[in-house]
Amino acid sequence: MATETPPPAKPQVHLPSTEEFAEVQQSAEFGELRRSHRSFAFPLTIAFITWYLLYVLLSNYADGFMGTKVAGNVNVALVLGLAQFLTTFLIAWWYARHAAAELDPKAEAIKSRMEGGA
């Protein structure tokens, strides 16, 4: 007769109370985490939306410019359209690096302190 071994016990994690969440939210450490995120994300978001709207406006109102041939059948509109994809991926890559270097360590410190009950 085979006996099954019980699964390993999971370590007990302290579940923070509402008051603890509110206390952490008011802390300088959490404020710094929010500032780090906002100072990176907001300007980049505004820049990208401006860049996107510029492309849309040029597509609608600057037919002559957007139709200018760059090489062969490739025109300015195609180049700028492909640049939209490129900038999207570059921003995602840049944010991932920023988050890994600046945001994640701060967030992990807050999380481990809260879950540890300290």
Work out how many domains the chain is built from and give that number.
1
40: CB partners within 8 A, 6+ apart: 95, 98, 102
Q: From CA 63, how far away is CA 85, in angstroms rounded?
A: 21
Percent of the chain at pLDDT above 90? 72
Q: Is residue 2 part of a domain?
A: no
Range of the domain at 70: 30-116
34-72 confidence digits (pLDDT tens): 999 999 999 999 999 999 999 999 999 999 999 999 999
**Alpha-carbon distance values, 41 to 14, 33, 66 (Å):** 31, 12, 30
17-30 confidence digits (pLDDT tens): 888 888 988 999 99
Q: Is residue 86 part of a domain?
A: yes
Q: Is residue 9 part of a domain?
A: no
